[in-house]
Amino acid sequence: MSLFVSLGILILLGGLVLLVTGIRRHGERQPKHTAMLIGGMMMTAFGLVIAGFAIAYENAAPLDLNTSSAPTP
């Protein structure tokens, strides 16, 4: 597991904590809790994207961009 996968998981968990806290206290109608909802959703999505791309990068075969199917002059 690479550094980016673990970093993404940590960000994802932090975002979920913010999201759940914002949902539980949203009944108080304070702008701070609305910001916690928005920030939690953004952090959760960002952590998921970082971890997902890191996993995909680790499992993908390397591309050979030096070979060309076009004829050379």
Q: Which sequence spans correspond to the domains of the chain?
A: 3-59
pLDDT of 25-59, one tens digit each? Answer: 888 888 999 999 999 999 999 999 999 999 999 89
CA torsion 9-15-16-22 (nearest 10°) is 170
Backbone CA torsion sign across 21, 23, 27, 30? positive
Reference 17, options 38, 46, 40, 33; nearest CA is 40
Read off the pTM: 0.76
Tell me the torsion sign for CA atoms 52, 54, 57, 58. negative
- Measured in whole angstroms, the distance separating CA 4 from the mean position of its chain's CA atoms is 10
Residue 73 binned pLDDT confidence (cut-offs 50, 70, 90): low
